[in-house]
Amino acid sequence: MNQAKHIAIIMDGNGRWAEKQGKKRFIGHEAGSEVVREITTFCSKDPEIDRLTLYAFSTENWKRPKLEVEFLMKLLATYLKKELPTYLKLGVRFEMIGDATRFSPSLQKQIAALEEETKNCTNLVQHLALNYGSRNEILRAVNSLKDSKMITEESLSNALDCKHDVDLLIRSGGDHRLSNYMLWQAAYAELFFTDTLWPDFSSEELKQIIDSYKNIERKFGGIK
């Protein structure tokens, strides 16, 4: 039976969830941040899950309206400050993946501080993908290895922001695409797409997906 040791999620649908209710898009983002806590809590209590990687802000999200981007940056800063007690209580180690250099110095400092505060937590690693794009990640990794005599799969994998293969990749919100997310790490991941908008996603639905994943025959290109 398969174990979903590394789960990656594309958290899609916050804005549409709010618009369906006649509300501003930022209300959807706030509701979505509450679901992050629920899902992180669930995963931290499952001994089979080692890593949870959440797509929070992509390299393409800077193209959104200025006011929405500014709100997302404020929401992120609030989240990082508010969630420290939760991380420590649950034993969750926080790690950012992505390029932090575009963020404000104060936000970069917050990210680094949370990583430092939680570095000894062992129940779960939560990777938050911020200013993340898989092509950007791979390009940065290749550039860091440009002086190597030969780049191998192992050396490239070790140079990535996230060095761990994804077992199960989930996208909420109804779209069926990867959107430049974990392209290297998800090479053999099982993909699940749900029409549920992220603010309506729940630990119960995640459990159902994990149960389905456990019964899939994974061949990794071979024959069983």
For residue 113, pLDDT beyond 80: yes
Q: Is 180 a catalytic residue?
A: no
Q: Using a pLDDT cut of 90, give the percent of the chain over it.
A: 93
Q: What is the pTM of this model?
A: 0.94
| pLDDT for the residue 224 | 57
Distance CA 64, CA 108 (A): 21
| pLDDT for the residue 148 | 84
For the chain, domain boundaries: 6-35+46-214
| pLDDT for the residue 222 | 60
Q: Is 165 a catalytic residue?
A: no
219 band by pLDDT with thresholds 50, 70 and 90: low
Considering the candidates 12, 46, 50, 167, report the single residue annotated as catalytic.
Answer: 12
| pLDDT for the residue 223 | 56
Average pLDDT score over the chain: 95
Architecture in CATH of 6-35+46-214:
3-Layer(aba) Sandwich (3.40)
Top pLDDT among 50 and 2 is at 50
Top pLDDT among 222 and 158 is at 158
For residue 63, pLDDT beyond 90: yes
Considering the candidates 61, 123, 136, 180, report the single residue annotated as catalytic.
Answer: 61
* Paired tokens of 71: 């709100």
For residue 220, pLDDT beyond 80: no
For residue 29, pLDDT beyond 60: yes
For residue 163, pLDDT beyond 60: yes
Contacts of 107 (CB under 8 A, 6+ apart): 73, 76, 77, 80, 100
Per residue in 125-143, pLDDT tens? Answer: 999 999 999 999 999 999 9
